[in-house]
Amino acid sequence: MRDHTKLRAFELADEVALLTYEHTTGFPKAEQFGLTSQMRQAAVSVPSNIVEGCARDTSADYLRFLDIAFGSLRELDYQLSLATRLGFVSSETELHAKVHETSKVLGALIRSLRKPKA
């Protein structure tokens, strides 16, 4: 089993989840069960799947959960883009930057695990 707390990808994903909650608190009440809920769910899914993957015994399972986490992060990225275009979030926030950084770090981790071992 792996220790998720030692992964930079987990640290960033956790920050993304917290920032998502902060940024969505000001969304219109009509979005409570719409975009607010969807963004929060996607944001929490990223670190949750990293943690679950770390708890798995096989490298294949670990990679599968990291792939799911990456998919949730990309989903959040789209939802953040939509929220920006709807005027709920300004175009350049700490959340935008953190999602981008997390995507780079998590993507690099996934690529490194996919490399054939010499």
Its pTM stands at 0.94
Structural domain count, the chain = 1
At 80, which amino acid appears?
L
Rounded to the nearest integer, the mean pLDDT of the chain is 95
> Domain of 12: which CATH number?
1.20.1440.60
**Interval 89-99: pLDDT, tens:** 988 889 999 99
Q: Please write down the HEC assignment for all residues of 42-98.
A: HHHHHHHHHHHHHCCCCHHHHHHHHHHHHHHHHHHHHHHHHHHHCCCCCCCCHHHHH
User: Where residue 118 falls among pLDDT bands split at 50, 70, 90?
Assistant: low
Q: What is the domain extent for residue 54?
A: 4-114
Neighbour count for residue 7 (Cβ, 10 Å): 20
Contact 54, 7 (CB under 8 A): yes
Q: Report the pLDDT averaged over residues 100-112.
A: 97
